[in-house]
A and B are shown apart, each in its own frame.
Chain A
Amino acid sequence: MNELIDKIVGIVGWEAIRTILGVVGVLIVVVFNALILTWAERKVSAHIQRRIGPKEVGPFGLLQPIADTIKLIAKELLTPQNVAKPLYFLAPVIVFIPVMVSFVVIPFDARLQVKDINVGILVILAFSSLSVLSILLAGWGSNNKFSLIGSVRSVAQNIAYEIPLLLALLSVVLMANSLSLKDIVEAQKGVWYIFLQPIAFLVFFIAGVAETNRTPFDLPEAESELVAGFHTEYSGMRFALFFLAEYTNIFIICAITTTFFLGGYQGPILPGFIWFFGKTYLLVFVILWFRWTFPRVRFDQLLNFSWKLLIPVSLLNLIITGGILKL
């Protein structure tokens, strides 16, 4: 047996095996995260609204997401007439790939990381800004006016909010003196950056909520205005992929927040990955809480908020951080 392993390792190398295992692990995390979040969203919303939520399938309705998934898979994939077929089919696939890549560099624990790239945060930002492309494809390809408006809104929104997102992260990068996520976590051994950089934390989290198209910034899919926005014409598993990507995006934003501001996997007694997931899901809960409490902002308010408030504030924060560090 050992000989066989040695032989395989000799042929493909440790690095490749590690990557394959990582990809499988990431897939498992993504799917489980989506299942948990669908359940959590329904439960959280139910309790915020004084309802019970799902309770029939499994204990506390825990198996409800699985029943939903089976339903979505079993559904016929409807293709509306007059859609731009290549774009329409491609969009749900493309929406999913960038979010998967982002997982590669996230340190779940001190040793639980697929690959520690020394420009890790750049990888995440580069790939997460790709997801807007798929929204644009979906909106354009659907040949539906609501989808089109939704996707155009999404592009404007993503451009506006990527800048404060980046600026907020930069001030942390300056302090940690590294772009590698692991280094940043290690730099928070003493004090978490949320205490040193509270403004950057707020700006990043708000911009993150906007990047994931969640309430109060859910304009691309604003259901009272645009029916379902860019995924109006999608049903069945194609819709489920958008859904999966949305929940994965939420997880990634919360995971980055945890890594950058809440000390990542660090914490006493319990193993690191429990701390990591605990902090991340706490933030996820806050995002769900937003969704079921706030109304939606208007489009001009959304852009004004970013260009007139978040960007100047984060820029100022960056300058002050740089100045203090220089001194």
Chain B
Amino acid sequence: MVGKILEEIKTTLAGIDIHEASYEQKGYHLTVDAQKGNILDIAGFFKGRAFYLEDMCCVDYVDYLEIVYFFNRYIELCRVKVTLKIEPDKSIAPTISNIYTMARWYEREVHEFFGVYFDGHPNLTYLFLHDGIDHYPLRKKQVPVPEDVKRLLNSYKPEEEEDAFFVNLGPQHPSTHGVLRVVVKMDGEYVLSAEPVLGYLHRMHEKMAENRSYLQFLPNPARIDYPGALFFNLAHVATVEKLCGIEVPERAQYIRTITCELNRIASHLLWLGAFPADLGALTPFMYAFDDREQILDILEDVTGSRLTYCYFRFGGLYNDVGDTFIDKTKNFIKRLRERFSMYEKLITGNVIFVNRAKGTGILEQAEVTKYGCTGPFVRSTGIPYDIRKAEPYAVYDQVDFEVPVGTTGDNMDRYLVRIAEMEMSLRIIEQAITKLPSGPFKAEKVPKKLKPPKGDIYYAVESSRGETGVYLVSDESDTPYRMRWRVPSFSNLMTFPALAEGTLIADAIATLGSYDIVVPEIDR
């Protein structure tokens, strides 16, 4: 596939600078050096070949800014890194938001952090930051925001429109699971448009990463996504390990798989409780939390914390697991299997629930590449895209599991996919426990002060919400030169305006609930 794409690009787009990269080392297959003149053609080319915009970020190399686009495919993996060099002062780049809708948010993000202007962007305002920021935070040298531009950078203010009924769902609203704000324009009970407004939980983890060593940053990823803390912990640790070439012992890899899958179940259970609560059924919440509590107990024993785990270390784990962990996990698997039949009766078999969830919030399979959705969200449309299968990490290539997919991509499918995924996770845990080898749980001779070689790497893991990727640029110092987090909820949420438009407000809220968004993850 990679060779075919390479040939196609060479023949279709003349005069383009394209190279093959070492996937084993870099995490991407191809690199393309784009120019301002041909970036739109390149994006259009990838769009036409069912590539999705995986990530888009910017790196400040002081002499120039480099905008990095990652394109990838759901079927037959082929990750392409497209770079676009632009001048550091008065930097202007063409927008690709007409081709990839998701780029609207990515470009706003690059704009507020680096001061890059995107020509033709429909709404180039701040996404996360508030109006009072006087410099671009991710630039290496302090670059002030021009005075005359400051006024233009105000956040989204829809209330100025006349003759429209606006409702603010959030930032304090029961259905937004945190501090997401959705500005909904309504006509009676119907939603005319819904615009998410982000940034209420923005903590600038990407900047924090640049200011501390790799080891010091260890606790941070857990705060980016609190229900799926271990995935983010793993994404950070594994990226650095791969860049430094640290070998991880097999036992550690197995334990990573087991704990990650436990965390996935815990995260899905949290969602399983919250989704019916969005539909008005409050009891499943308590039942799901009852089960989730068991996982938290198990994980507390080995990691020392109940929510924001910091368990993985460079080259292994914080500590080894004992027999009690194995026994407890086995008991839990037995217990949860019994409980599934109860959820079946309580939720899946409930006629009101089915009527509410079926046929609402339908995501068309053809639309997903525009947004770059991942995780259960994209699997519900029938695309079996799972990083665990596509580019196996830890020991996912040594266990037997399937990727559950839906058919229509409605709320019910998203529910069923997540339920099936929990069962699949139980299967993975069972296999991993039987295969668990003995041996060391930590690599020897991992230096205390990590100084990865110069270069960049993209590494992704499958978190409970989708593809969690880290794009790491190292300059051989003990702190990252740039650490970019690609988070799944961010690109999943982008579909919300399209899915909510024209539906009843109750359906829009059910749809929002089915996303399983985690706001700290979106805002970072």
Residues of chain A having any CB pair with chain B under 8 Å: 45, 48-51, 145-146, 149, 153, 215-216, 218, 222-225, 227, 292-301
- State the Cβ distance, B339 to closest chain A Cβ, in Å: 12
- Contact between chains at B281 and A295 (CB < 8 Å): yes
Q: Which partner residue on chain A sits nearest B176 by CB separation?
A: A224
- Contact between chains at A225 and B509 (CB < 8 Å): yes
- Contact between chains at B167 and A294 (CB < 8 Å): no
- Contact between chains at B280 and A50 (CB < 8 Å): no
Partner of A299, one of B280, B283, B504: B504
Residue B11 interfacial (CB < 8 Å): no
- State the Cβ distance, A144 to closest chain B Cβ, in Å: 10
Label chain A's interface by main secondary structure.
loop
Partner of B280, one of A48, A145, A216, A300: A216
- Contact between chains at B350 and A294 (CB < 8 Å): yes
Most chain-B CB neighbours within 10 Å: which of A145, A218, A293, A298? A298
Take A215-B280, A225-B509, A227-B174 as given contacts and tell me if A295 and B287 are in contact as well, using a CB distance cutoff of 8 Å. Answer: no
Chain B residues whose CB sits within 8 angstroms of the CB of A153 once the complex forms: 189
CA distance A68 to B147 in the complex (A): 55
Label chain B's interface by main secondary structure.
helix
List 12 additional contacts besides A292-B283, A296-B356; criterion CB under 8 Å: A50-B287, A224-B175, A224-B513, A227-B173, A295-B352, A295-B353, A296-B279, A296-B506, A298-B504, A300-B189, A301-B355, A301-B356
CA distance A10 to B346 in the complex (A): 63
Residue B215 interfacial (CB < 8 Å): no
- Contact between chains at A50 and B290 (CB < 8 Å): yes
Chain B residues whose CB sits within 8 angstroms of the CB of A50 once the complex forms: 286-287, 290
Q: Which partner residue on chain B sits nearest A291 by CB separation?
A: B282
22 A-B Cβ contacts within 8 A?
A45-B282, A49-B282, A49-B285, A49-B287, A50-B290, A146-B167, A149-B505, A216-B280, A216-B352, A218-B280, A222-B280, A223-B174, A224-B278, A224-B279, A225-B175, A225-B505, A225-B506, A293-B283, A294-B281, A296-B281, A296-B352, A299-B506
Q: Which partner residue on chain B sits nearest A48 by CB separation?
A: B283
- State the Cβ distance, A295 to closest chain B Cβ, in Å: 4
Chain B residues whose CB sits within 8 angstroms of the CB of A294 once the complex forms: 280-281, 350, 352
Chain B residues whose CB sits within 8 angstroms of the CB of A48 once the complex forms: 283
- Contact between chains at A295 and B286 (CB < 8 Å): no
CA distance A225 to B169 in the complex (A): 8
Partner of B283, one of A49, A222, A223: A49
- Contact between chains at B189 and A299 (CB < 8 Å): yes
- Contact between chains at B283 and A298 (CB < 8 Å): no
Residue B165 interfacial (CB < 8 Å): yes
Chain B residues whose CB sits within 8 angstroms of the CB of A215 once the complex forms: 280
Nearest 3 Cβ contacts at the A-B interface? A296-B280, A49-B286, A295-B281
Residue B520 interfacial (CB < 8 Å): no
Most chain-A CB neighbours within 10 Å: which of B175, B277, B285? B175
Chain A residues whose CB sits within 8 angstroms of the CB of B173 once the complex forms: 227
Q: Which partner residue on chain B sits nearest A219 by CB separation?
A: B506
CA distance A293 to B513 in the complex (A): 19
CA distance A294 to B354 in the complex (A): 11
Residue B276 interfacial (CB < 8 Å): yes
CA distance A299 to B350 in the complex (A): 18
Most chain-A CB neighbours within 10 Å: which of B283, B355, B505, B513? B283
Chain B residues whose CB sits within 8 angstroms of the CB of A223 once the complex forms: 174, 280
Q: Which partner residue on chain B sits nearest A300 by CB separation?
A: B504
Chain B residues whose CB sits within 8 angstroms of the CB of A146 once the complex forms: 167
Chain B residues whose CB sits within 8 angstroms of the CB of A222 once the complex forms: 280, 506
Q: Mark B137-167, 1 if CB is under 8 A from A, else 0.
A: 0000000000000000000000000000111
Chain B residues whose CB sits within 8 angstroms of the CB of A300 once the complex forms: 189, 504
- State the Cβ distance, A242 to closest chain B Cβ, in Å: 18
Partner of A224, one of B167, B277, B353: B277
Q: Mark B322-361, 1 if CB is under 8 A from A, else 0.
A: 0000000000000000000000001000101101100000
- State the Cβ distance, A216 to closest chain B Cβ, in Å: 6
CA distance A171 to B480 in the complex (A): 78
- Contact between chains at A295 and B504 (CB < 8 Å): no
Chain A residues whose CB sits within 8 angstroms of the CB of B509 once the complex forms: 224-225
Q: Which partner residue on chain A sits nearest B168 by CB separation?
A: A145
CA distance A216 to B286 in the complex (A): 18
Interface size class of B (residues with CB under 8 A): 20 to 34
- State the Cβ distance, B188 to closest chain A Cβ, in Å: 8
Residues in B272-330 with C-beta less than 8 Å from chain A: 276-283, 285-287, 290
Chain A residues whose CB sits within 8 angstroms of the CB of B282 once the complex forms: 45, 49, 292
- Contact between chains at A295 and B280 (CB < 8 Å): yes
CA distance A298 to B510 in the complex (A): 10
Q: Mark B245-272, 1 if CB is under 8 A from A, else 0.
A: 0000000000000000000000000000
- Contact between chains at A295 and B167 (CB < 8 Å): no
Chain B residues whose CB sits within 8 angstroms of the CB of A45 once the complex forms: 282-283
CA distance A301 to B355 in the complex (A): 9
Most chain-B CB neighbours within 10 Å: which of A45, A218, A224, A298? A224
Chain B residues whose CB sits within 8 angstroms of the CB of A224 once the complex forms: 174-175, 277-280, 509, 513
Residue B523 interfacial (CB < 8 Å): no
Residue B54 interfacial (CB < 8 Å): no
Most chain-B CB neighbours within 10 Å: which of A223, A225, A296, A301? A225
CA distance A292 to B279 in the complex (A): 12
- Contact between chains at A293 and B281 (CB < 8 Å): yes
CA distance A22 to B505 in the complex (A): 46
Q: Which partner residue on chain A sits nearest B289 by CB separation?
A: A49
CA distance A295 to B276 in the complex (A): 7
Chain A residues whose CB sits within 8 angstroms of the CB of B167 once the complex forms: 145-146, 149
CA distance A299 to B503 in the complex (A): 12
Residue B507 interfacial (CB < 8 Å): yes
Q: Mark B491-521, 1 if CB is under 8 A from A, else 0.
A: 0000000000000111101000100000000
CA distance A224 to B278 in the complex (A): 5
Q: Which partner residue on chain A sits nearest B357 by CB separation?
A: A295
- State the Cβ distance, B172 to closest chain A Cβ, in Å: 9
Take A224-B509, A292-B282 as given contacts and tell me if A297 and B355 are in contact as well, using a CB distance cutoff of 8 Å. Answer: yes
Take A216-B280, A225-B506, A295-B281 as given contacts and tell me if A51 and B286 are in contact as well, using a CB distance cutoff of 8 Å. Answer: yes
- Contact between chains at B507 and A298 (CB < 8 Å): yes
- State the Cβ distance, B502 to closest chain A Cβ, in Å: 13
Chain B residues whose CB sits within 8 angstroms of the CB of A145 once the complex forms: 165-167
CA distance A299 to B505 in the complex (A): 9
CA distance A49 to B283 in the complex (A): 6
CA distance A167 to B166 in the complex (A): 39
Most chain-B CB neighbours within 10 Å: which of A153, A215, A218, A294? A294
Chain A residues whose CB sits within 8 angstroms of the CB of B290 once the complex forms: 50
Q: Which partner residue on chain B sits nearest A302 by CB separation?
A: B506
Chain B residues whose CB sits within 8 angstroms of the CB of A218 once the complex forms: 280
Chain A residues whose CB sits within 8 angstroms of the CB of B277 once the complex forms: 224
Chain B residues whose CB sits within 8 angstroms of the CB of A225 once the complex forms: 175, 505-506, 509
Chain B residues whose CB sits within 8 angstroms of the CB of A299 once the complex forms: 189, 504, 506
